[in-house]
Structure 1
């Protein structure tokens, strides 16, 4: 029997959490889910730059166990359940210079943020999803999980590779229980932070912003489509994956990188 979907409000009645949802791709994802009718909660260390009354904001440092516990307890106490979990939070603040300059703290902080935070949130929200036989978890990884850049983001790349592997294993366990688990791995995204980085490179190197952008694309080995992704393009993919239209999709990694990864 053919299913009919209301694309405009297909997530009406759903409760969704987007971590790192106050800027960049996370903000775009939160707005996309809101437009689809979901009740959307966002969490980050700092409050949104813009006041968005439609989003429920929970301040939390998810790199710490206390932060993830706070988010889980507040959402379950307030809403009673969570239907959609978007583990979008990701960060790399390690110095350049290769493996020799990286300390234990660099590694541990990066792994806590990029791998342990999603694991802890999954552990907090999965029991009620499994009990209801319904739920969706999206892990936002990175093409660096397969295409690591060793100079300054090796811990980030290793953590994202671990996240991709963990996501697949988790999907095998919980998909038979009604919970879909998927991974989205973006390439370079044109966020506000990326734009500011191009401006800094342009100023320090006395080149145009276009030349700075091309230099970053060259460092990635090229982007065949010729530009970084817009945050809204990543959000649109996530919006589809959490929708009823994607009900048969689970355990899969979706790469959205404009063709950056040079292999199949």
Structure 2
């Protein structure tokens, strides 16, 4: 499949629902925002970057939610605008750690990876979940990564560790909130066709002194290959997020769904 798939959806599927998608200006986050908008939701999103052309969420907060100040800015604005929230998709994440293995990861880099890939979700949940608990309903979806089980030691050790912690946190949260009417699940994508993935390829190529195609193939090989022969599209991740947030998944709770084209070789 050389082009992104086109999916149709019920334009009333999430009518009246208040949805937050973090990191919603690029890649899978942008696709998730578009999917919920198309299904009739009131969608808020936040990111460090500006909105791309043609993306018009109901509410946009430009903030670095990898920082405590950024998460406070977002949660305050969201609660003032919506009074509460029905669905949260914690998509924000990424890695800026250079190649070089464990020795290249300074305390500052560890802190950056943990703040963005774990603590952003923890802080926002702490601020926003009380409204879900009071209303006795809500859905939380955390975007983790298959790298929590298949870390790339050359360049993503800290990112993978943070995502592993996010998956564990998500499971713990599901046990606590399920009896209160709030469903919590996570999604573990594999290789996705995004600008972040392209940047990772570029960093690894620069570190190894090779070309980007060689670096890209090296990443795929280090993961053990992709049996379906291609990376996932952001739109496919968005469809899975929408499914988990919908009533169709009403009995799916405390689970992590993998979307990796068969990359993880075990059950």
Look up the match of 2:90.
Answer: 87
Which whole-Å CA distance do the structure 2 matches of 1:205 and 1:100 have between them?
21
Alignment of 1:163-182 (within 5 A): 163-182=166-185
Look up the match of 2:232.
Answer: 229
TM-score normalised by structure 2 residue count: 0.90
Which whole-Å CA distance do the structure 2 matches of 1:75 and 1:83 have between them?
12
The superposition leaves residues 58-108 of structure 1 with CA deviations (integer Å, 9 ceiling, x where unpaired) of 011111111111111101111111111110000111111111121111111
SS class of match (2:150) = coil
Alignment of 1:10-25 (within 5 A): 10-25=13-28
Aligned length, in residue pairs: 256
> Deviation of residue 7 (structure 1)?
3.8
Alignment of 1:12-91 (within 5 A): 12-91=15-94
Which whole-Å CA distance do the structure 2 matches of 1:51 and 1:10 have between them?
22
Structure 2 runs not aligned, ≥5 long: 1-8
Which whole-Å CA distance do the structure 1 matches of 2:211 and 2:68 have between them?
44
SS class of match (1:16) = strand
Greater mean alpha carbon deviation, residues 93-102 or residues 155-164: 93-102
Look up the match of 1:247.
Answer: 250
Structure 1 runs not aligned, ≥5 long: 1-5
Confirm or deny: 8 A CA contact 2:152 2:222 kept in the other structure: no
Which whole-Å CA distance do the structure 2 matches of 1:262 and 1:55 have between them?
41
RMSD of the TM alignment (CA)?
2.0
The superposition leaves residues 168-188 of structure 1 with CA deviations (integer Å, 9 ceiling, x where unpaired) of 000000011000000000001
Which whole-Å CA distance do the structure 2 matches of 1:185 and 1:174 have between them?
21
In the superposition, relative to structure 1, how do residues 72 and 106 fare at CA in structure 2: closer, same or farther (>3 Å)? same
Which whole-Å CA distance do the structure 1 matches of 2:88 and 2:211 have between them?
43
Confirm or deny: 8 A CA contact 1:10 1:244 kept in the other structure: no
TM-score normalised by structure 1 residue count: 0.91
Confirm or deny: 8 A CA contact 2:220 2:226 kept in the other structure: yes
